[in-house]
Amino acid sequence: MNEVNPAAIANTVAWGGFALAFIFGAVANKTNFCTMGAVSDMVNMGDWGRMRMWLLAIAVAILGSSALQLAGVVDLSKSIYMGPNFMWLSNLVGGFVFGVGMTLGSGCGSKTLIRIGAGSLKSLVVFVFLGISAYVTLRGLFGAFRVAALDPMSVTLSTGQDLPSLLAKALGADKKSMLMLASGLVAGLLLFVVFKARDFRSNFDGILGGVVVGLVVIGGWYVSGKLGYLAEDPNTLQEAFIATNSGRLESLSFVAPQAYTLELLMFWTDKSKIVTFGIASALGVVAGSAAYALASGTFRWEGFRDAGDTAYHLIGGTLMGFGGVTAMGCTVGQGITGFSTLALGSMLTFVAIVAGSALTMKWQYARMLREA
């Protein structure tokens, strides 16, 4: 029997995360995949094109993730999303605050990384403030407030908070059948909404962006949940998911990983710090976006317009860091990765993010009219 080498597995997981995120960054840059832009187009122009791209990514991720679960390749119940503790207030507040922050900061966590790769210095500043705020919310002052005031407001669901488990208990059916039913219905509804629009059916970039982003999320589950899984870690003699910051299987998410990226850079000589799946994926998005921008001739240096522009981006980054950690994910982390598990918390966070972003856009528009 070959001896298990956790270090080699960690290397595989990190490079796998980087490769998937590189594809994400390049394709998202090419197709202008942007969740804040999707909300903006919908609210300000009535254009659902980019929102349909986001919904398509969710549908693809649901179908692929459910297939991995049904085939026994991964166990999504061991992710952070499907636990029995439904923290509804954290999902609502965190999602709403994140939505406000991504609007003030000109894009969500993933868009910030994409814009850095394309030459945006202001997004680099947002990245730093987002990362610091996320870390303070994970382990610092903001975290004390989160743990004391928001996280306790929760409901414990003995079955877990995913739709298949809830349906299985309510109907007295087996979970596998309910997983097929729920994933088929939810993904089918999303696909209907996406493709009922004739203009989207001929939108190559929209379809490409949605499908590839969904596939990359599925790939993330496979890398961390299959390639990085050990039934018994030789060092601890316990089940382990190697090279993930949460200690569980993960896929793409872009708030806490930015905090851990800053931590790794600050404590580089600390041998206990390693390049995890999340850190590698954050770096991969920047690299993929930069590769596309340079190859297509769209790379442009971008700075702040004035002091007001700077202030809004600093506030936006700070709010995204707090909101993303509080809600346990961002527009990708909860809005696609978490949503692919059919968890109630992820769906609630998705709605809260869209609401926070839409209301902030309305406020910005009203303020612009007053100043005109």
Average pLDDT rounded to a whole number, residues 146-170: 94
DSSP letter (8 states) at residue 5: -
Tell me if 37 is assigned to some domain.
yes
Write out the H or E segment, with its range, that includes residue 86: strand 85-86
Average pLDDT rounded to a whole number, residues 101-128: 97
| Angle, helix 307-326 to helix 109-117, in steps of 10 degrees | 130
pLDDT > 60? residue 1: no
Would you place residue 265 in the very low, low, confident or very high pLDDT band (cuts 50, 70, 90)? Answer: very high
Average pLDDT rounded to a whole number, residues 137-161: 94
Mean pLDDT for all residues in the chain: 95
Tell me if 46 is assigned to some domain.
yes
Angle, CA of 213, 215 and 220, to the nearest 5°: 95
The answer to whether the CB of 182 falls within 8 A of the CB of 164 is yes
Average pLDDT rounded to a whole number, residues 61-73: 98
CA distance 309 to 326: 26
CA distance 197 to 204: 13
State CA 176 to chain mean position distance: 26
Q: What's the structural domain count of the chain?
A: 1
In DSSP notation, 97-120 reads HHHHHHHHTTS-HHHHHHHHHTTB
Q: List pLDDT tens digits, range 83-114.
A: 999 999 999 999 999 999 999 999 999 999 99
Tell me if 1 is assigned to some domain.
no
Average pLDDT rounded to a whole number, residues 249-254: 96
Average pLDDT rounded to a whole number, residues 205-234: 96
pTM of the model: 0.96
Of 229-233, 279-283, 284-288, 319-323, the poorest mean pLDDT is in 229-233
Would you place residue 2 in the very low, low, confident or very high pLDDT band (cuts 50, 70, 90)? Answer: low
Residue range of the domain that includes 55: 7-371
